[in-house]
């Protein structure tokens, strides 16, 4: 089977599955998309790393990275190798002292670890043929009240207040709000 490189293009709240998110991967040299339903914790862990946010305490996937680095293990790639009964199966491909090890993992955890190592994500062409589509997903983000309030009033908030709200959001581990605040700060800079 031929491997196909994938890029992460977004994470959005799933309207169809309460408390879940959809991680969208797109083939690097094409248009097919691979939507993967993941849990809130894993969505947060991936988003924190992609947005280069620094949580107050290490998340589980940060701990895994530190552990791997401490023992000379490098994550080379993530491989989504199977799709069965609505579930994606993945492996974390690791290397230590030129020895390759494949570790079975939930796809969301594999990707959360992989992004911390800047490891490429692959799937098999057969999975893209079976599951991949080119249509945009129809997902609406169901924002919390405080996030709505901040977004609606964003332009009226001073940079100092935005930075204060960002620090509070990070302290409260509200990474979705922190991401929106950081985007507004970057837009103004």
pLDDT value of position 135: 54
- Contact criterion met (CB below 8 Å) for 14 and 21: yes
How many folded domains does the chain comprise? 2
The answer on 164 and 108 residing in a single domain is no
Is residue 40 assigned to a domain?
yes
pTM exceeds cut of 0.75: no
Q: What is the DSSP string of 89-112?
A: EEEEEEEETTEEEEEEEEHHHHHH
Is residue 161 assigned to a domain?
yes
Is residue 114 assigned to a domain?
yes
pLDDT value of position 25: 93
Is residue 78 assigned to a domain?
yes
For residue 178, what are the domain limits?
A: 145-188
* Neighbour-count burial for 84-121, b at 16+ CB within 10 Å, e otherwise: eeeebbbbbbbeeeeeeeeeebebbbbbbbbbbbebbb
pLDDT value of position 134: 63
Along the 189 residues of the chain, how does pLDDT read in single tens digits?
A: 799 999 999 888 876 777 788 899 999 988 888 989 898 889 989 999 998 888 888 889 999 999 999 999 999 999 999 998 889 999 999 999 999 999 999 999 999 999 999 999 999 999 988 887 765 433 333 444 444 444 455 555 666 677 777 777 777 777 777 777 777 777 777
pLDDT value of position 156: 55
| CATH at residue 46 | 3.10.690.10
The answer on 89 and 50 residing in a single domain is yes
The answer on 13 and 75 residing in a single domain is yes
* Neighbour-count burial for 149-179, b at 16+ CB within 10 Å, e otherwise: ebeeebeeeeeeebeebbeebbeeebbbbbb
The answer on 150 and 88 residing in a single domain is no
- Do β-strands 121-124 and 3-13 pair in parallel, antiparallel, or remain unpaired? antiparallel
The answer on 46 and 23 residing in a single domain is yes
């Amino acid at each position: 089977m031929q491997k196909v490189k994938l890029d992460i293009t977004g994470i959005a709240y799933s309207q169809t599955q309460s408390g879940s998110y959809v991680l969208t991967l797109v083939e690097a040299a094409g248009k097919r998309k691979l939507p993967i339903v993941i849990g809130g914790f894993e969505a947060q862990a991936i988003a924190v790393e992609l947005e280069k946010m620094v949580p107050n305490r290490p998340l589980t996937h940060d701990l895994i990275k530190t552990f791997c680095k401490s023992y000379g293990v490098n994550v080379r790639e993530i491989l989504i190798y199977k799709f069965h009964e609505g579930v994606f199966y993945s492996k974390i491909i690791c290397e230590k002292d030129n020895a390759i090890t494949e570790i079975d993992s939930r796809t969301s955890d594999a990707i959360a670890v992989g992004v911390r190592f800047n490891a490429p994500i692959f799937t098999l062409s057969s999975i893209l043929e079976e599951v991949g589509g080119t249509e945009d997903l129809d997902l609406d983000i169901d924002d919390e009240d405080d996030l709505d309030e901040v977004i609606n009033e964003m332009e009226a908030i001073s940079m100092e207040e935005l930075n204060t709200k960002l620090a509070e959001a990070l302290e409260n581990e509200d990474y979705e709000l922190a991401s929106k605040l950081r985007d507004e700060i970057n837009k103004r800079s």
